[in-house]
Amino acid sequence: MVVVSFNYRSGVFGFFSHPALSRESGRGSSGNYGLLDQLALLAWVQESIAGFGGDPGRVTAFGVSAGSASIALLLAAPAARGLFHRAILHSPGCGRPLATLDQAEAAGHAIDADLPALRALSAGQVLALTPRLNPAVRGLTSPRVLRPIRDGALILEDERDAFAAGHLHRMPLIVGTNADEGTLLTRSWPVQTADDLRDLIRANFVGAEAQALLHYGCDRDDEASARIAQAFADTQFNAGARLLLRSMTRLGQPCWAYHFTRRRPGQVDGPHHGDEFGYAFGNLAVGRSGAGEPFDETDEWLSDAMAGAWARFAATGEPGAVAVLHWPGFDAGEQHLEFGNELRTGSNPRWRALDFVDDHLTRSR
């Protein structure tokens, strides 16, 4: 394989919208600069990868978290047609409501109506604007303005609408999630008691509060953190991953789902959001902190199994058998392959909660 890694603008630099920026853009929109960077990279790959021994007709887009959320958006973006041919999405944050251009422009305009004054700021001063656009506690079911938006130029419709209408570039997919997608990302949230949890759930599931509390509420204060972590995982990652798999499978494309459950030696919780990515690269020596984490022979063979499947998928469009275990396609009863202390097949045990999230997000958009 030829692996191409690249940078793209993020945060305020990648997704800031402002009416004055839209007027001068030539596209009538602003924001989504990070996605435009990704499109530029994919176009460069088409033009140049043969010079590095690559095949421009077999390009696999591959990312985790924000990277895989971007891939999901590009799957529905007309401008990305033909730029990649299969995709591997680790914990994609897809299927959530997208802010409109008007909403994002209003948020940007509220910071400072004077674009020349904003341009006079240093890079550090621009970065310091982030908290004014990105709340400390993310809305579980509401649009976010400092991320890709429905701008009418690059992103034409909400993902749910695009997926339902089959407006996707048809291709094979591998899509997966981790056992604990929420704990790491909600650890700093001010949810200390069952009452805190109930308030947050009611604010995020307006019109479906009672059902939401059945899935994510609790009566004991010491359970509140775990319950909000599960609500975050389901709304931000788990439901969207399933929705994308269902949508692409419905279009007749082969898809495979995975679920990563392996905890490293001494790890007391998790695996957290992003913990599996080093396995796919065979880079176990570097942990999330960058200082390294312990690993053993189980991690090594698991990494070999995952990296091999990812490589076969990039080469052929199919992951093949993984350590001689057949990986069933997602259409076979929505089965997944579990990468854990051992390899095994299974299905998502949280389907009732995901059905609720999916239904609520569909009805409330």
326-338 pLDDT, tens per residue? 999 999 899 999 9
Catalytic position from the list 273, 293, 338, 360: 273
In order of their start, the domains of the chain are 172-365 (3.40.50.1820)
What confidence tier does 114 reach under pLDDT thresholds 50, 70, 90?
A: confident
Decide if pLDDT at 287 tops 80: no
Q: What is the pLDDT of residues 55-92, one digit of tens each?
A: 999 999 999 999 999 999 999 999 999 999 999 999 99
Q: What is the pLDDT of residues 223-282, one digit of tens each?
A: 999 999 999 999 999 999 999 999 999 999 999 999 999 999 989 899 999 999 999 999
Decide if pLDDT at 289 tops 80: no
Between 112 and 172, the more confident residue is 172
What confidence tier does 349 reach under pLDDT thresholds 50, 70, 90?
A: confident
What pLDDT, on the 0 to 100 scale, is given for residue 291?
A: 57
**Per the structure block, which two tokens stand in for 236?**
């931000």
Active site residue 47: no
The CA-based angle 94-100-101, given to 5 degrees, is 125
From residue 34, alpha-carbon distances to 39, 75, 117, 153, 253 in Å are 9, 15, 23, 14, 28
* Contacts with 241 (C-beta within 8 Å, 6 or more apart), sequence order: 89, 91, 92, 94, 175, 176, 177, 257
Decide if pLDDT at 290 tops 80: no
| Mean per-residue pLDDT, 87-104 | 96
Q: What is the pLDDT of residues 196-217, one digit of tens each?
A: 999 999 999 999 999 999 999 9
Q: What is the pLDDT of residues 31-42, one digit of tens each?
A: 999 999 999 999
Region of residue 210 (left: phi > 0; alpha: psi -120 to 50; beta: else) = alpha
Q: For 88, list phi and psi in degrees, rounded to 5.
A: -120, 120
What pLDDT, on the 0 to 100 scale, is given for residue 120?
A: 93
Mean of per-residue pLDDT scores for the chain: 95
Q: What is the pLDDT of residues 143-162, one digit of tens each?
A: 999 999 999 999 999 999 99
Catalytic position from the list 17, 22, 30, 65: 65
Active site residue 273: yes
Active site residue 300: no
Question: What are the b/e assignments for 297-329, b being 16+ CB within 10 Å?
Answer: eebeebbebbebbbeebbeebbbeebeeeebbb
Q: For 56, list phi and psi in degrees, rounded to 5.
A: -65, -10
Catalytic position from the list 181, 276, 293, 338: 181
Work out the percent of the chain whose per-residue pLDDT is above 90.
Answer: 90
What confidence tier does 288 reach under pLDDT thresholds 50, 70, 90?
A: low
**Could you give the angle at which helices 194-204 and 209-216 cross, rounded to 10 degrees?**
140
What confidence tier does 292 reach under pLDDT thresholds 50, 70, 90?
A: low
What confidence tier does 15 reach under pLDDT thresholds 50, 70, 90?
A: very high
